[in-house]
Amino acid sequence: MSTFKKTAGLWWLCCLSLLLLFSCKSGSENSGNGNPITLKINFKPGEKYLYTTQVNQKINSMNTTMDQSMTMEMVYAYEGEEGENKKLKITYDHITMSLTTPMGPVQYDSKVPEKSPADMAFMNSLIGKSFGIKVAPNGDIAAVEGLGELIKSLSGATDDNTRSAMEGQFSDTAIRMMMQNSFDLYPGKPVKVGESWGKKSVMSMGFQGLNVNMENTYTLKSINSGKATVAVASAMNLPATDMSAAAGVPMQIQMNGKQEGTMELDIATGQILSGKTTQNIEGRISGGGQTIPMNINGDVVISSKKM
User: Tell me, what amino acid is at 142?
Assistant: A
CB atoms within 10 A of CB 184: 24
What is the structure's pLDDT at 177? Answer: 76
Q: What 3-state class would DSSP assign to 11?
A: helix
Phi, psi for residue 289 in degrees, rounded to 5? 75, 10
Dist. CA 278–CA 173, nearest whole Å = 27
Print pLDDT tens along the chain (307 aa).
444 444 444 444 444 444 444 444 433 334 455 789 999 999 998 999 999 999 898 888 877 888 889 999 999 999 999 999 999 999 999 999 998 877 778 889 999 988 877 767 777 888 898 999 999 999 999 999 988 777 776 665 555 666 666 666 677 777 887 787 778 899 999 999 999 999 887 776 555 566 788 899 999 999 999 999 999 999 988 888 887 766 677 888 888 999 899 999 999 999 999 999 998 989 888 887 888 888 889 999 999 999 9
Dist. CA 194–CA 220, nearest whole Å = 6
Q: How many CA atoms lie within 13 A of 99 on its CB side?
A: 16
DSSP letters along 106-171, please? Answer: EEEETTSGGG--GGGGGGGGGTT-EEEEEE-TTS-EEEEE-HHHHHHGGGG-SSHHHHHHHHHHTS
Cα separations (Å) of 121 from 22, 53, 64, 99, 226? 21, 21, 27, 16, 43
What is the structure's pLDDT at 33? Answer: 54
- Alpha-carbon Rg for the chain, nearest whole angstrom, is 19
The distance from CA 126 to its chain's CA centroid, rounded to whole angstroms, is 16
Maximum separation of any 2 CA atoms in the chain, in Å:
61
DSSP letters along 85-120, please? Answer: EEEEEEEEEEEEEEEEETTEEEEEETTSGGG--GGG
Residue 96 · residue 106 · CB < 8 Å:
no
What is the structure's pLDDT at 9? Answer: 44
What is the structure's pLDDT at 155? Answer: 62
**Domains in the chain: ranges and CATH:** 3-306 (2.30.230)
Residue 290 · residue 5 · CB < 8 Å:
yes
Cα separations (Å) of 26 from 76, 137, 195, 301? 14, 9, 15, 18
Query: What pTM was computed for the model?
Result: 0.81
